[in-house]
Structure 1
Amino acid sequence: MAVYNGERWLAESIQSVLEQTFTNFEFIIVNDGSNDCSLQIINQFSKKDSRIRVYNKKNSGLADSLNYGIAEARGEWIARIDADDICSLERLQKQIECVRLNTDLVLVGSGLVIIDENGQQSKVH
Structure 2
Amino acid sequence: MKRTTLLTSAGALLLSGLSMQASAQSEFVAADGTLGTQLCMAVSSNSRHQLTKIMSETGANSKIFKNKLQCNNLSVREFASLYGFERSLQTLRITPLTQTSIHDLAFVHGTKLTTVSGS
TM-score bracket for this pair, using the shorter chain length: under 0.3
Greater radius of gyration (CA): 2
Greater fraction strand = 1
Taking CA–CA contacts closer than 8 Å with sequence separation of 6 or more, which of the two structures ends up with the larger relative contact order?
A: 2
Given the two structures, how large is their TM-score scaled by the length of structure 2? 0.27
TM-score by length of 1: 0.26
